[in-house]
Amino acid sequence: MTGLGVAWVISEGTGEQTGSNPRQGIFWAVLAAILQASGAVLSRSVLASSTLSPLWSTMLRLVGGLGILLPLLLWQSPSLTIGLIPRSWLGAVFIAAFGGTYLGIWLQQTSLKFAPAGIAQTLLATSPLFILPIAAALGDKISLRAIFGVLVALLGIGLLFLAA
């Protein structure tokens, strides 16, 4: 039910198709879902069976990602420099990187340490719902369909906790 509610909210769009090959998009979406689930199960296994803290696992994940991403970026654009980011953006980039990446991964790892992977991933999948109050505060119109989707997702979360 939670997945259905989230899908209901995020499927509401403008009706514009941005890609020319939907099969390729479906392939990448399925691959991403498989890899996300595999990563959650592996992280849960390590965190639950060891003394490794979520904070350290977050650091290891970020350093590992940087170790892969940085050589790829340099290979794609050898002239890559920090000068590409205007100085006025550095504060916003820092806040986004710290709040979105670091805290997000740390909280994900914490949830995987203390809850079963399926429950943690279900709750993490609700993140698109949190943008609706922000969108409403910025003056966007929230449709009745989106509100019902949130209610279905919340009902699914409630059932998840009742069953656990």
Residue 17 lies in a domain: no
Of residues 17 and 107, the one with the higher pLDDT is: 107
CB 106 within 8 A of CB 55: yes
Residue 70 lies in a domain: yes
Reported as half-sphere exposure (CB side, CA atoms, 13 A), residue 6 has a value of 16
- Count structural domains, the chain: 1
Q: Residue 151: which of 39, 5, 19, 16 has the closest Cα? A: 5
How many CB atoms sit inside 10 A of residue 80's CB?
12
Residue 121 lies in a domain: yes
Strand (E) or helix (H) holding 108: helix 103-114
Residue 152 lies in a domain: yes
Q: Is the pTM of this model over 0.75?
A: no
Q: What is the pLDDT of residue 13?
A: 63
Digit-coded pLDDT (tens) for 52-85: 999 999 999 889 988 998 888 777 776 665 556 6
Q: Which domain holds residue 151?
A: 2-12+22-163
